[in-house]
Structure 1
């Protein structure tokens, strides 16, 4: 899924001087406490999974909604709205789910099979703007519906009766159970959708929630909101908190200060701030199956359509310097689009992200040679690349790192930076008004195809317009004739990874490791490597 960034020496001194206060924070929290204070690093723009997909949105929905399945504390898929994890029939192409009869929405409505049909049809439609319609491909007729060639009613999802949902696939999808924990597959109260139409999810009151908490007080633009315990939740006895507060905190130093003042119980810190707390007793490193990278605009009218320029850009960036001196939060250099730790290749017994990583490393001399070749092919004497990013602290630090590396090490090259609010930067990327953008892909499920899908030719999230025949063929085969052939499937995966490295489809920067300052009395949080952190079963000891 989706984005993070330098400060100054004076900021470092400020951080170091406040470590004692940080170490004392949360020392006297009582055992009766029922409110958890959290942060998000970007704005909430919608709660409707059919029209938007952002990290903040999914983090909020992780606490307030549930799909057929969820991930438990042991990272195992377990039943949620479905009573249990089911085995497919019809050679892996038919799934029949029985819904909990006591599952209700926050408005008291019963959760029904029709709620899943409504949500999935809205999300797969040709008019959906979430960018996640592709995730349904493999469900019968999904691709044709998204392309506008078939009606949403032909989607392979049927409400057999009020509490029975049938899903029909066009081909076997062995990883479907992992996918069904994602917010993209959450249901939508069909009565609420019918009532509000295009306004569904635009504010917290134009929604219903079937998870442990219900969102309150979000008016569509404000930067703080609450989640209150859902009294209709089927497993409410397992929910210890009464309330979760959330506020947008874009600056790492601010996050640290709020934690020190007992105003946050879990604060994500980066850069100089993270440097200053590496020995703090509250620090928790959370490894995530995500890669931060530069998305490259490869449209034909853009300079980075040229492969030599893309390769040069990859080689000119010293990723060790980035992770050690700028991020300093436990993140590691990335030499692959697919992050290490995602999954093991069962045919080799090796970590997939490691076995397929690129052999290319920081090499300024080679970068200049490649850049010159690219300029010659383009018939240009120089190129200025437009870097568009969010206006968060981490993004600005990445911008400065890229801009400086190019200016100092590549002749006839320049990077101009535009750091703007996330909504505006998202629009710029969607409209193709950029050359580079700093972004994150966080695996939706533990399979490399979760990374690869968004770089296929017709994927709606392929905002860089990467189009490579060899790569596309490998992913198509993996989804179709090789889906249940383990040897062939993983050969497709390895070939696809190699092709991305050869063509410099993206510029990997670093593997995702979050540095959290966590209240020492906070327990029960599931920090998932794949997917969003789950605070629903949290409690204070």
Structure 2
């Protein structure tokens, strides 16, 4: 999160053990170190999943909250707040969850079915500002509620009694279990929501936590905070750390220096810093099911409404050069919106991202021809494109790469770059004041539809206003009549992928592979290719 999760550019800090490193734990005995030092590359803006959705938030909630289910070290869905993983009834449309009676919030309140009802209703409401209400579509009446056509009380999420939570779907969703581990579906202490109202989650004290850790020291704006062990957590015996400290570090060189001076147990590096450390013995590459890409504004009053200009942009960017010579951090070129290694197409046995990759790749001459044709169709001799990104080092590097390629090779093209803090970048995109935006999407669950949903016509995160009838029809059918028909479902997925490529709905840049310097003493961390990483059972050897 999609995060996932307004897909502004920020990155999760991924952790791994088993590397030879000079981190501070080397001087400690086997059990003396109980504090883990982490970083994030963007600021924390809110802890309220009904108000905000981005990577830093979701990464912090992964450590401090727990949903009905969670993912274990083998990427299997296992029981969380629910006593067990349940099987649906009513032809796959009804799920009845029995909650743990010993689950408590950090303030001592019991975790109840009403906490899930409150959270889900707030997140699906027409007034939700997370941009993530669409993820509930499929739950009965969710789409109508988000559109303001029904009250939140109509949502197919009911508290049968204090510890029984029932979910009713409008159609079968075979992938629902995978979705329920996402922070978007986490509960909210309904008593605190009532107490704090719109201020709920605006700082670390205005909410409670039902997971292994609780967040402290965040006042709503500062860039350092902590996660301390939550003694009310039902499974606290498996939690070995006492504390995690977190700081925001936007610059790769700064991250490297902090790691070298033993102030970070994990440091994410990129760009020039990564180029010089790719053979360092402390380095760990972590692959994630995410794609970095350019979001394009296809509104009718923007130049990139023109399909030929969009295709020209895709063809003029040398993605192999970008990953090998510019980023040099182990990332791989992206020729598809859906990341390879996300999932196999069960009907073909092939990796979905690979089998549906765009064969229309780097070709400057063709790009120049299409660009001029597109300008002619618009009745223009030149266009100026606004490119937005956040102000991280990597984002600025991407901005320079795109600006140089476009202005050098496409006559009449000018790119105005705005590298601004994530909040400002997100606001510009949400308001439609952009032509291109450097962003990424990290799969919420292991299915291509996790990528496709966010660019369907009615999705609140479809800030580029992509609207292709064949694409929308394929995704709609996959969610509806073909949800339980494996052959038809995956044909819908292939159709959607083809339309994204043919219409150049986005410009894929590179697949998400991160470079990390990691403390050799760190163990027990689970890094998932899909979703957020789990530090909650980490320890120092």
Matched, 1:277 2:274: no
State the SS of the aligned residue for 1:149. coil
Give the Cα–Cα distance (whole angstroms) in 1 for the partners of residues 145 and 331 of structure 2.
40
Equivalence map 1:251-270=2 (5 Å): 251-270=251-270
Contact 2:24 2:265 in 1 (8 A): no
What SS does structure 1 have at the residue aligned with 2:27? Answer: coil
Cross-structure match for 1:57 = 57
CA distance in 2, matches of 1:66, 1:516: 26
Distance 1:540 1:302 in 2: 53
Which whole-Å CA distance do the structure 2 matches of 1:514 and 1:55 have between them?
15
1:29 Cα offset (Å): 3.2
Please state if 1:160 is matched with 2:172: no
Q: Quote the residue 1:497 is aligned against.
A: 497
Task: Quote the offset at 1:272 in angstroms.
Answer: 1.3
Q: Per-residue CA shift, 1:151-199, capped at 9, x if unaligned?
A: 0000000101111100000000000000000000000000000000000
Q: For each residue in 1:203-246, what CA deviation from the matched residue of structure 2 results, as whole angstroms up to 9, or x when unmatched?
A: 10001000000000000000000011000000000000000000
Could you list the per-position Cα deviations for residues 284-341 of structure 1 after superposition, in whole angstroms to 9, with x for gaps in the alignment?
A: 1111000000000111110001100000000000000110011111110000000000
Query: SS in structure 2 opposite 1:246?
Result: strand
Q: Give me the CA root mean square deviation.
A: 1.1
Structure 2 equivalent of residue 245 of structure 1: 245
Deviations 1:226-272 (A, max 9, x none): 01100000000000000000000000000011011111101111111
Verify: 1:128 aligned to 2:128, yes or no.
yes
Partner of 1:468: 468
| Counterpart-to-counterpart distance in 1, 2:376 and 2:393 | 37
How far off is 1:275 after superposition? 1.4
Shift of 1:410: 1.1
The 3-state SS of whatever aligns with 1:27 is: helix
Alignment gaps of 5+ in structure 1: 6-20
Deviation at 1:34? 0.4
- How far apart, in 1, do the equivalents of 2:46 and 2:139 lie? 26
Partners of 2:22 and 2:519 within 8 A in 1: no
Deviation at 1:27, TM superposition (A): 2.9
Q: Answer yes or no: is the 8 Å Cα contact 2:21–2:519 preserved in 1.
A: no
Q: Which residue of 1 aligns with 2:16?
A: none
Task: Give, in whole Å, the separation in 1 of the partners of 2:526 and 2:378.
Answer: 50
What are the residue-to-residue correspondences of 1:280-359 with 2, within 5 Å? 280-359=280-359
> How far 1:533 sits from its partner (Å)?
0.9
Distance in 1 (CA, whole Å) between partners of 2:534 and 2:179 is: 16
Structure 2 counterpart of 1:423: 423
Is the Cα–Cα contact under 8 Å of residues 38 and 264 in structure 1 kept in the other structure? yes
C-alpha distance in 1 between matches for 2:23 and 2:334:
35
Partner in structure 1 of residue 13 of structure 2: none
Contact 1:39 1:267 in 2 (8 A): yes
1:23/1:280 contact within 8 Å kept? no
Identify the residue that residue 141 of structure 1 maps to in structure 2: 141
Do 1:4 and 1:394's aligned partners in 2 also have CA atoms closer than 8 Å? no
Q: After the TM superposition, which residues 353-432 of structure 1 pair with which residues of structure 2 at under 5 Å, given as runs?
A: 353-432=353-432
State whether residues 23 and 259 of structure 2, in contact with CA within 8 Å, keep that contact through their aligned partners in structure 1.
no
Work out the CA distance in 1 between the residues paired with 2:277 and 2:162: 52
Offset at residue 22 of structure 1 (A)? 6.9
Q: CA deviation at 1:23?
A: 4.8
Q: Secondary structure at the match of 1:424?
A: helix
Take 2:302 and 2:68, find their aligned partners in 1: how far apart are those partners?
43
Number of the residue aligned with 1:27:
26
Q: TM-score, normalised by structure 1?
A: 0.96
Aligned to 2:200: 200
Tell me if structure 1 keeps the 8 A contact 2:106–2:210. Answer: yes
- 2:14 paired residue number: none
Q: Residue 87 of structure 1 contacts residue 95 of structure 1 at CA under 8 Å; is this kept in 2?
A: yes
CA contact (8 A) 1:42 1:56 kept: yes
Q: CA deviation at 1:30?
A: 2.8
Structure 2 gap ranges (5+): 11-19
3-state DSSP class of the match of 2:106?
coil
Cross-structure match for 2:15? none
Per the TM alignment, residue 52 of structure 1 is displaced from its structure 2 partner at its CA by 0.3
Residues 372 and 388 (structure 1), Cα distance of their counterparts in 2 relative to 1, 3 Å cut: same
Conservation of the 8 A alpha-carbon contact between 1:298 and 1:305: yes
Q: Distance in 1 between matches of 2:180 and 2:349?
A: 26
Q: CA deviation at 1:24?
A: 6.8
Residue number in structure 2 paired with 1:184 = 184
Q: Counterparts in 2 of 1:523-534, with a 5 A limit?
A: 523-534=523-534
**1:4 CA displacement:** 5.2
Q: TM-score, normalised by structure 2?
A: 0.96
**Structure 1 Cα separation of the partners of residues 307 and 96 of structure 2:** 47
Q: What is the rounded CA distance, in whole Å, between the counterparts of 2:300 and 2:431 in structure 1?
A: 14
- Would the aligned equivalents of 1:131 and 1:460 in 2 still touch at CA under 8 Å? yes
Match of 1:98 in 2: 98
What is the CA–CA distance in structure 2 between the aligned matches of 1:355 and 1:47, rounded to whole Å?
38
**Alpha-carbon deviation of 1:526?**
0.5
Q: In structure 2, what is the equivalent of residue 225 of structure 1?
A: 225
Superposed CA offset, 1:119-161 (max 9, x none): 0000000000001000000000000000000000000001011
In the alignment, is the contact (CA less than 8 A) between 2:42 and 2:249 conserved in 1?
yes
Distance 2:272 2:86 in 1: 47
Q: Pick closer, same or farther for the CA change 1:411–1:25 going to 2, 3 Å.
A: farther
Residues 8 and 426 in structure 2, CA contact (< 8 A), matched pair in contact too: no
Distance 1:92 1:528 in 2: 27
CA distance in 2, matches of 1:424, 1:393: 16
Give yes or no for contact 1:287–1:512 (8 Å, CA) kept in 2: yes
Q: Bigger shift: 183-192 or 265-274?
A: 265-274
Q: Which residue of 2 aligns with 1:521?
A: 521
Q: CA deviation at 1:382?
A: 0.5
- Give the C-alpha shift of residue 26 in structure 1: 4.5
